[in-house]
Amino acid sequence: MIKRMTFKQFLFILPLLIFIGIFSIYPIVTSLVYTLFDYRTNDQQYNSFYMSEQLNEELFAQDLGYVSWFIETDMATEGLSSEDVAEFEEIKAEVDELLTTYEGSKGVKKVSSDTIKEIQAFNKDIRERLTNIYDRNADLEMYNREGMPKILDDMDNCVVASNFIGLKGFAKLFTDTRFYKALLHTLLFTVISVAIELVIGMILALIMDKAIKGIGAVRTIALIPWAIPTAVSAMIWSYMYDGSYGIISKIFSVIGLIPKQSAMLLTANGAMTSVVISDVWKTAPYMALLLLAGLQIIDRGLYESASIDGAGPFKTFFSITLPLIKPSLLVALLFRTMDAFRVYDLIAILTGGGPGNGTESLSVYSYKLMFSQSNYGYGSVVVMGMAVCVAVIAVIYVKVLGAEVINND
């Protein structure tokens, strides 16, 4: 029989629920909202969430003021006919009249569709009339001949169209070849690095599990790479991979693993190999630490019984050790796979995703979209795609390996 939670019991977990809501659920919901809009902070047409057409009244008033000032300046051009001066004055009067309506307005506001049509018609009308004046007087040196079209273009941009795109961002994702290349790079990096880390981590864990003299020093030394911040270790490895003086690239070129020393970071294969080696060095101790926790809960009597029965080291490992550390193995693989799949800092510092996007992971790609291109809408779509991939990986690990991470007992 399942007991119902009392109100007092609920109050005990309420702070945790609030914490999860603020720091977990809210960011996810916000990211989902971003995916529904073509949101770009470097373009006034897309720098907010617009469900319908809007008018940037503040900018429109500024542009009207510039148009009036430009007209007043060009009206004084020597050699201008009286008819053109009269046309300039008429246009200026219309601009000034409209300026009184929007002068002092702030920000972007929602207006009726009729107002939008009127403004678009007004912009088109004065553009045609001003263009005709400038064309008729092509031989005169009119000061604002080049600047006027730019202001008129800016006035057109004051009408902000809706940037709500719904699920079109996800449709774009399915046809984005760069996303698939980044996904392939991420999977390649994850599979290779985690596989190597599992082997090395298991060896380190088996060594650190032995009760031998100096094992404390061995454990401390083995965990040093994991204790170094990723940014620092990436900088260290970048110096060792350098094509001019790097010791690692020099050794690899001498023994024939790479054709020349500069190929370590300047070719896609060399750069990916460099990233994998750096990650294995950094996180294999973390894998060993997780596996060591599983090894130390195994009853030592099982090994003694196996030894009496004549079982060798390999037989003991595959019959006793491996089955009993299966839950710990799942946790280690799950944590490291998800961490490797979300890799950003190591690649960003070591290769920047290059050369030629040859090591660009999904995290690096989404970062470039959002912070380099200021495209937060599609960048959030890529992040959501990555989140789905991480969820699929977690489900596969739990279902396929068949180990229980959380015991109901």
DSSP 178-238: HHHHHHHHHHHHHHHHHHHHHHHHHHHHHHHTS--TTHHHHHHHHHHHHHS-HHHHHHHHH
Q: Which whole number is the average pLDDT over 320-346?
A: 88
What is the side-by-side strand order in the sheet with 108-110? 108-110, 54-56, 159-160
Return the pLDDT at 167.
92
Tokens for 42, please give them.
């470097």
The letter for the amino acid at 376 is: Y
Q: Which whole number is the average pLDDT over 61-87?
A: 91
Whether 406 has a pLDDT exceeding 70, the answer reads no
Angstrom distance (rounded) from CA 320 to CA 253: 43
Q: Which whole number is the average pLDDT over 209-229?
A: 79
Whether 172 has a pLDDT exceeding 70, the answer reads yes
Return the pLDDT at 150.
92
Whether 408 has a pLDDT exceeding 50, the answer reads no
Backbone angles phi, psi at 397, to 5 degrees: -60, -50
According to CATH, the topology of domain 171-401 is MetI-like fold (1.10.3720)
Tokens for 401, please give them.
């390996």
Output the pTM of the full model: 0.82
> What Å distances lie between residue 270 and 175, 246, 249, 355, CA to CA?
28, 14, 10, 10
Backbone angles phi, psi at 272, to 5 degrees: -65, -40
Tokens for 190, please give them.
């994850």
Q: Under the phi-then-psi rule, with left for phi > 0, alpha for psi from -120 to 50, and beta for the rest, what region is 166?
A: left
**Residue written as token pair 């799942």:** 330
Return the pLDDT at 276.
94
Give the Cα-Cα-Cα angle 294, 343, 20 (nearest 5 degrees). Answer: 70
Q: Which whole number is the average pLDDT over 366-371?
A: 93
Return the pLDDT at 1.
53
Lowest mean pLDDT among 129-133, 179-183, 294-298, 311-315: 311-315
Return the pLDDT at 401.
64
Whether 128 has a pLDDT exceeding 80, the answer reads yes
Contacts of 37 (CB under 8 A, 6+ apart): 46, 49, 50, 163, 164, 165, 377
Q: Which whole number is the average pLDDT over 67-78?
A: 91
Tokens for 344, please give them.
């950003």
Whether 102 has a pLDDT exceeding 50, the answer reads yes
Q: Dmax over Cα atoms in the chain, in whole Å?
A: 116
Q: Which whole number is the average pLDDT over 114-119?
A: 91
Helix (H) or strand (E) holding 72: helix 57-75
Return the pLDDT at 354.
87
Whether 409 has a pLDDT exceeding 70, the answer reads no
Sketch the domain layout of the chain as residue ranges: 1-35, 54-160, 171-401
> What Å distances lie between residue 161 and 39, 40, 252, CA to CA?
12, 13, 56
At 23, is the pLDDT very low, low, confident or very high (cuts 50, 70, 90)?
confident
